[in-house]
Amino acid sequence: DRVEYPVVVGEGVLDELCSYLASAPPRGAGLVPAPEVPHVLFTDTTVNALYGDRVEALLRACGLEVFRVVVPAGEASKSLATYEWAVGEMLQGGAGRKSVLFALGGGVVGDLGGFVAATYMRGIAFVQLPTTILAHDSAVGGKVGIDHPLAKNALGVFAFPRAVLYDTALLRTLPPREVRSGLAEVVKHAFLEGEEYVSFLEAEAEKIMALDPGALAEALLRGIAVKADVVSRDPYETLGIREVLNLGHTVGHALETLGGYRSLLHGEAVALGLAVESRIAERLGILAHGVRMRLEALLARFGFDLRWPEGEAYDPASVVRVMLRDKKNVRKKIRFVFLTDLGKTEFRELASEESEAHLRAVLRE
């Protein structure tokens, strides 16, 4: 298992698929897929309709035999049921230990396909071919897995792809809601990095939303750099360094779970989580003046609705109950990562009653 792999980002990089696969690292994956076994093009229904034929043809042009495993689009596919079905498709298609799985899609395909690859016959090689803005985050960093109705990403492993080939030309077909959702993780990465990245986003927000190739590529590359830097210092999350990437996700994951993984997109939940957690940090008196305003202003410019979702499901007591199931918790306390300034964070463990009181106070603001 290699923790390092090439991440190639740009317009049209998929057209160079074969050469990136075969070239020696660090530019290429140094991966020559066996011609005698079938390989797997793993994708979802929406991406398959848009790009399945083209990518299959590209893989065949590399001399590879391929078959497709196509799961329904949407978060609901990150489930045990879809996982079991996909493994069945792999077995029926004749995938073996030398097969390579190509995960073509957003975070759902990357997380589920990566988890299938990491566990199929004790693990086969996989390549991430991300197709969403959000996937600048999910395709990098080696976390793969699926959800359980009780908790997000409850089942998963660390497994690193052999390469990430990110063709930004494919992002042009994304619906506006998915563009926005993906930008939540870009904002997260910017506030983790500091002033330079944040002011870049403030200056280029409109261009980025319009998918201007230059501005978009820079926003994504900067995000990937932040994530890759954190992950390289703590790849298996054993040192506590990697946990900073959970910014906005303690509250965000709980909201996603309470919405049954259907009501809020991942990025929408994270955007709200970023705002709410920064308000709690402000209430704790640990967040520098003005940071929360800049964060919320940027999220608003990207079009996020930062109001708490309607409905009993999102009652603060329920949010706390779900947050307590988070993997990061110890001793019945909820572990948060809070911003203290641009590029600065602090971990805090709050008792559940205290967390609930803060949430209620923030909702009244």
Provide the binding-site residues for ligand NAD, judged by CB under 6 A. Answer: 44, 46-47, 50, 73-75, 78, 105-109, 111, 131-132, 134-135, 137-138, 141, 143, 170-171, 173-174, 178, 181-182, 185, 266-267
| Nearest-angstrom CA–CA distance, 7 and 165 | 6
The smaller minimum CB distance to ligand NAD, of residues 46 and 278, is found at 46
Closest-CB residue for ligand NAD? Answer: 107
Q: Which is nearer to ligand NAD, 34 or 241 (CB)?
A: 241
Neighbour tally for 168: CB within 10 Å = 21
**Which of the 8 DSSP states describes residue 140?**
S
* Annotation says 237 is catalytic: yes
Nearer to ligand NAD, 75 or 326 (CB): 75
Is 144 marked within a binding site?
no
Please state, in angstroms and rounded to a whole number, the distance separating the CA atoms of residues 216 and 35: 36
Task: Name the residue nearer to ligand NAD (CB basis): 171 or 342.
Answer: 171
7 a known binding residue? no
Q: How far apart are CA 346 and CA 354, in angstroms?
A: 17
Active site residue 243: no
Q: Which token pair is 32?
A: 């020559």
> Is 249 assigned to a binding site?
yes
- What element of type H or E holds 307? none
Q: How many CB atoms lie within 10 A of CB 11?
A: 16
8 Å CB contact between 82 and 45? no
Tell whether residue 179 is among the known ligand binding residues.
no
State yes or no: is 189 an active-site residue: no
Hey, what are 259's tokens? 């919405």
Is 344 a known active-site residue? Answer: no
Q: Is 242 a residue of the active site? A: yes
Closer of 224 and 298 to ligand NAD (Cβ): 224
333 catalytically annotated: no
* Cα distances (Å, whole numbers) of residue 280 to 137, 243, 248, 294, 346: 25, 18, 11, 15, 13
Catalytic site residue 122? yes
39, 78, 162, 242: which is the annotated catalytic residue?
242
| Annotation says 48 is catalytic | no
Torsion over CA: 116, 227, 270, 158 (sign)? positive
* Identified catalytic residue from 56, 178, 193, 237: 237
Catalytic, out of 185, 193, 218, 256 = 185
The DSSP element (H or E) to which 143 belongs, if any, is strand 143-148
Annotated binding-site positions for NAD(+): 107-111, 131-132, 143, 152
Annotated binding-site positions for Zn(2+): 185, 249, 266
Q: Which residues are known to be catalytic?
A: 122, 143, 185, 227, 237, 242, 246, 249, 253, 266
